[in-house]
Every structure is written in C-alpha cells, then in structure tokens.
Structure 1
C-alpha cells in the first residue's frame, strides 16, 4: 500500500504495466482515467476506485497534476475475501471499482479524501481490508501452496514441479488457476518474471543509471536479452529500450510505483510530494 500526491508531474499518459498483482486504487480526488487500449482512453471516465484483474497487455492511464490517493497491490488469491468474487471475474478492460463494490467504493474514496494525514488515509483503507476479509479464506490450500512456490522461484519453477508438489495433475492445477485468477499457471509465471524485470529496470532508471538489459534478463529468469525483449513486446507492444525512452519521464517523476517482488521495496521518486507507505 502506498499513498501518492502528484505535484510536479506533467499531464500525459503512461502504461499500467502487467504484473502478478491486482490493481486497487482509491482516489482522493475526482478519480483515475484508465483504458485497456490507448484508442479508448479519450472515452474513459474518471473512476474514484480503480479495480482490475490480472492482465497480460499494458493498460493506458491518464496522468494529471494534483492526482492523489492510495494504491494497493493485492494478492489475486485475496480477491474473494476483499471483493466478493474471484480474481478471474474482475475485468481487465473496465476498471470501475464501483461495478464490483457498489456504493462502498464512493464511501471509501470519500473517507480517503477527507483524511488529514497519510496515517489516517492508510487507516481508512486498512480498516476496509480488515472488515472485508475478516479472516475468511475460501481458496483451496493447493492454490496457496502453488502460488508461494511460483513466487519464491520468481516464476522459474516448472508447472509440472508445482503440480507434483501440491498433489495435483498439471491439467487440474491449470483448471483451478484459470477458475480462480483467470490465467493458467504458465501465464502467471510469465507475469512474475516480467514484473520483477520491469521493477528492476525502473529502479535503475530512477537512480539515473544505465540499464544493463542482458544482466536484468539473466538475473530474473529469462534465457537471454532477446527473450526479455520478446516478452516486453508481447506485454507492452514496445521493446525495452523504446519503453524506457517513452516512459523515462514518468519513471523519473514517480509515475511508476513498482515493487520488486524479491525485496518488496517500491520504486519511487522525490517528485511525488508526500509519497508514503505504511
């Protein structure tokens, strides 16, 4: 969970990068405009609560001065408890959180907007999470175990190995994954590898350094730089160097708040005033 308040960020658009976490944003302003396709962005309405499932193509987000709110990276297996539906039922092209949460979405956004400090804003969201989950967990333990194995390996462990460990056939495991999160285990593993790679690239750019794409590829489970480049094109439509060039200002301005799953340390920039995490 991270709070953001953009002060010195130019108007524009940036890519919402695919990851192995659900996107959940509670705005403290008029809302966020997002669309699955850049051509749809001019038609997007501001949404005070953004909620999206696991997507394998980058979304497009309108970036405006003064935007503020609280953003969470939500574990997909927590969707039933928090949102009342499995992650597989969350839209990947319509990010209107009120369609899932109803009037609760507006109430939550109002309370975050009224908070007089980050501590109180985080408390509002944390209270929502606690009340919604209330210790419930309706997800099969085999899925929890399988997800932990995949996450701990950075998406490198084979599906066959995971299935054998949790006592299921690869086909049965795939069925359960698709039913719960909307993607097959192999697709989730790809997202995990890509998420780690993009977070490390964004961190290096934010630090003002030169990005060693070959080194990033090797350290995050890709066979080589060409493999990483192919995944970038598949997920974003851009090779990594073009993505870095197109998104460089956004990264430097704090337009990306990515977390490296290996160290849980969010990439952030000093150009977002009052950026905070609990």
Structure 2
C-alpha cells in the first residue's frame, strides 16, 4: 500500500582527484511517489554511465531510432545530437556518471567514437565488474559511501598506458573553453592538421565531428543557462545572445533539433527536476 510519502533526492558528488579530467561528476538520485513522466536525455559533451540502485532505467526511445526500447540495470551512452526518451514510472534511483570523452579509452577500454549515438547495456562494454560495482553500491549506507565505491571501482579500471593524439586533445579543450564558438578552420590551424584530417581523427576518438561537438557544447551550456534563470525577463533572447546564436529563432531551432521540443516546453517538462536539483547549472 502506498504511504503517500514523496522522496525526491538529487546529490552531486566530485570524483577522487586521480579521476579529475576523466570524470566530471557523479549525480545520485532517488525519487518515490512522484508523477509518472517521461524524461528527455539530452545531448551533452559527456558520455553517460548510469548504475541503477533499484528499478531499471526504461529507455522508450534511443538517440538512434533504429535501436529498440529496453530496460537497463546499467547503461553506457555515447555522445549524440538527438534526445533519448526515458520513462519514469513514479520511482527511480541510481547514480549517473559524467565521463569525459577523452577519458573513454582509460576507463572504458575503447574510444568514445565506438559508442557514438548508442545506448548499450554497461556489462556489454565493461564486463562483469559492473555487477560487482552494483552490489557494493547497494550495500553502501549513503551517497558519500556510494561515491566512494565509484571512485574505487573506476580507479581500479583506469589504464595507465593510453596515448591520445595531442591534436585531438587540444581541439576538444579549445571547443570546451570557447563554448563551441570556434570554427573548424581555426581548430585545424591550431593543431597543424588539415581540416579533413582533424575531422576524421576527432570523430574517431570523440564520436562527433568538431562541428557537431561545437553544437552539442553550445546547446548544453544553453539548457543549463535556461535552467539557472528560467524566469528572467527577456531571458530567452538574452540567453541566445550570450551563447553565440544569431538570434532567439536560431537558438529555438537548435533546441528543437537536439531536445525535440522548444526551450519553453522543455523548461515546463523539467521544472520539477530543476527545482529539486536534478538539473544543476553548469
């Protein structure tokens, strides 16, 4: 019998110092008694690794529409430019890990490019250690304890023999530093590579072309800015200008392409999550 008690927890954790640059953050979540809804898994400059604690995560639609819906106890998602749709049946719990794409070889054993646009069962990528991490997560008494489990697990997986082309690393960091506002020609000039070589090597390592990565980085900054100041007078036009779009109409088109809906509709859908801290501003 339902007790009518609503649980809505969202806890952000920082990885161990040895994981900085590989893992951006941990996000723990637990919800009970909230309305049944559908959540949009939006494009982001981070790979997603989710380990659930109780119920599986139900993906109703993947970024690649050819992939069938499914339930996952643990999931790895590559970079993508269209949303996933996740069904939330009034209760969910787990930890989401934001992985830097340049750290994929170190922690996952394969480049982020191998996961581009895909959602996969984590055990198919990471092997049986996922089940071991699951058991330890569920046994941990609180969020700090769960984050400590993740630290130990990921540090145990980290490889020290990974070498990444410095040109790809430089291009990715420059895209991130400029919020996606730098063009491919300027990126290539900074690496000494031709534009074609940069596009090919970058896409193979990261999973997106430099141009697509720039769009995702700018979109991610935009939606976090929107979540941080949803009621600002004239906020959308100002946000569009701040993020380097030509105008608000340009921003709206990009938002529709990457979120599947306009900014105002996304904000209305996600207001509960934003207010409870499930969408902390970047």
TM-score by structure 1 length? 0.84
Kindly provide the CA deviation profile for residues 13-72 of structure 1, in whole angstroms up to 9, marking residues without a partner as x: 11011111111111111321124359x8xx743312121001110101122444222211
The two structures, once aligned, show a CA RMSD in angstroms of 2.2
Quote the residue 1:272 is aligned against: none
What is the Cα deviation at residue 241 of structure 1?
2.0
Match for residue 243 of structure 2 among 206, 216, 220: 220
What is the Cα deviation at residue 7 of structure 1?
3.5
Structure 2 residue 160 is the aligned partner of structure 1 residue 135: yes
**Structure 1 range deviating more: 212-221 or 61-70:** 61-70
Quote the residue 1:273 is aligned against: none
Quote the residue 1:18 is aligned against: 43
Q: How do 1:123-202 and structure 2 match up within 5 A?
A: 123-202=148-227
Quote the residue 1:238 is aligned against: 261
Alpha-carbon distance between aligned partners in 2 of 1:52 and 1:106, rounded to the nearest angstrom: 18
| 1:9 and 1:253 in contact (8 A); partners too | no
| 1:217 and 1:224 in contact (8 A); partners too | yes
Larger strand percent: 2
Structure 1's unaligned 5+ residue stretches are: 261-278
State the SS of the aligned residue for 2:96: strand
Quote the residue 1:252 is aligned against: 275
Alpha-carbon distance between aligned partners in 1 of 2:39 and 2:105, rounded to the nearest angstrom: 29
Structure 2's unaligned 5+ residue stretches are: 1-25
Structure 2 residue 147 is the aligned partner of structure 1 residue 115: no
Structure 2 residue 90 is the aligned partner of structure 1 residue 90: no
Match for residue 104 of structure 1 among 102, 115, 129: 129
What is the Cα deviation at residue 93 of structure 1?
4.1
Kindly provide the CA deviation profile for residues 69-118 of structure 1, in whole angstroms up to 9, marking residues without a partner as x: 22111111111111111111116343321221122222212211111121
Aligned residues: 255
| 1:25 and 1:50 in contact (8 A); partners too | yes
**Structure 1 range deviating more: 6-15 or 71-80:** 6-15
Alpha-carbon distance between aligned partners in 1 of 2:42 and 2:234, rounded to the nearest angstrom: 18
TM-score by structure 2 length? 0.83
Which structure is higher in RCO with an 8 Å CA cutoff and minimum separation 6? Answer: 1
| 2:78 and 2:119 in contact (8 A); partners too | no
Structure 1 residues 204 and 153: alpha-carbon distance in aligned structure 2, compared to 1, 3 A threshold:
same
Quote the residue 2:8 is aligned against: none
